[in-house]
Structure 1
Amino acid sequence: LGILLMTPIIYFLGHGNTSMQQYYQRFILGLPWTTFLDLFGWEFLFRGWILFTYARKFGPEALWLQAVPFALAHIGKPEVETLSTIFGGFAFGWIAWRTKSFLYPFLIHWFIGVLIILVAAGVV
């Protein structure tokens, strides 16, 4: 459901936002495997290690405790992406929390990453 909702938004942002196009066009050559490795590491760190480690001590507050550094790690990327990661990081955390796995947020993040690169490069 989340992928269905995000796909038109990503398509619109990739076509209509020059900062997204300038930032992401350079990643087209390594698709999809460099994006796979990159985002697997991100999701393992934020939703695998940080979320579940903090959850033992802080419970549901761990959702925000992993979302804030996740958003901060996006500084330097296009502004619209950085701002969206505050809530996106929480949403990914919630999915990981509910499924007890970082695999599902990883797959969603990988889809989003590949799609935005393809759209920004004008492939789709």
Structure 2
Amino acid sequence: MIAIGRAKLGPLQGLIRTYGDGEILAPGITALAAPGHTIGHHVFHLKSGDASLLHLMDAALHHLVGPEEPDWALAVEMHPDTAAATRRRLFQQAADAGTLVAGYHFPFPGLGRIVEMGKAWRFVPLQTA
């Protein structure tokens, strides 16, 4: 994966800007460190007025496995224990704040809320009707 990334991103090297935890990338878009899945993995918090969304990126590997079994790992995770701790932190923050979340691997439209369920969480999708 690293070799593929270098091959694809190499020609763009001069256009790439790195960022860190808590950095505001544009008005209303903040990068938040979410280590474990990959080196330097981040999620993004989007805010506009009173509305906010936490884009979980690959920190949530599946809409069921991630929230309901946050300690389970897939072979693609570089640091499974760190990824599990990151999932737990992000899911708890989203549940506590009632923040809308988005996930790459969540069912269409990929938006919903994380709610506490015992010692884990559940992804509750937005209703689309």
Tell me, yes or no, whether TM beats 0.5: no
Larger of the two Rg values belongs to structure: 2
Which structure has more relative contact order (CA 8 Å, sep 6+)? It is: 1
More helix by share: 1
More strand by share: 2
TM-score, with length taken from structure 1: 0.30
